[in-house]
Structure formats: C-alpha cells, structure tokens
Amino acid sequence: MRISKQCPNCMMAISRTEGCNHMHCSNCGHDFCYQCGKEYDRGKYSCKSCGLFSEDTIRRWEAQMRQRQGLLRQERQVLNQVRAEDPANHPSSCPICRQMNTKVANNNHIFCWSCEKHYCYLRRKIVKRGSQHYGPSGCKQHSAG
C-alpha cells in the first residue's frame, strides 16, 4: 500500500511502499522520520520515538519468516521420507547452486529444482544434452544407488 507524506522541509510528496522510517528527500536533502515527521540528527539512523521500523513491518516480516521456516521443515520431512523409502538413494548437491537433490527411480539424470539445471548424479557435471552424456561411451543413465 503506497501512502504519500510531505517532506517537512520543502513539502515535496514522498512515497514509501515498505521498509524503514528513515527518509531522505531527494528534492532538498532533508532527513526525517516517515512515521512522525521529526528531523533526524546527523549520524543517527533511527527516530528516538518511532524506531527504525514500524511494529506492523516487524510483525509482517516475522510472519513471513515463520512461514518460510514451516516450508523448510516440510521440505526436510519430504527429503527424510525419500531417504527412508530408498536408503541407497543418497541425495547429491547441485554443482551450480549446491542445492540437495535426489534421484528418482534410479535415474542418474537430475534436474535441480532450485537453479533449474540438469546434471549427472554419478559425475556431478552439468548435462546439456542427455543423448551426448549418457550411453555406451558415457555414464549409465539408470543405476541403483
């Protein structure tokens, strides 16, 4: 939600979509608190009465962090379940982003869900064309473990 407030020094309209209360007017160079309009002292980064961030902003960020933590817990549970169902299927880290990925149905061709790159489970090398990497002279595309 965008709300405009006037710079207390030059009355120029200043908008903020989110973030801290410390505002710097690009028109006159005045530093002030977005919430209460008081001038900032030189070298200070937060208003004495309002703080750097509003309570609403902090609560929203905390809710987002709790949601992300819940998603990470679910992701770990799924990974642990996959490991339990197939103990020979050890996850491997992507050679690009280091995200952990698991084999599906003994297929050594892995698609990293994080960076969306394809790589070989056996050699941990990027695969541009599966037909060139797997085959008689290359890696086996399907193997247990």
Q: For the segment 27-50, what is each residue's pLDDT rounded down to a tens digit?
A: 999 988 888 888 887 666 667 788
Per-residue burial over 77-108, b = 16 or more CB atoms within 10 Å of its CB, e = otherwise:
eeeeeeeeeeeebeebebbeeeeebebeeeeb
Of 37-51, 61-75, 120-134, least confident by mean pLDDT is 37-51
What residue segments make up the domains of the chain, in order of their start? Answer: 90-139
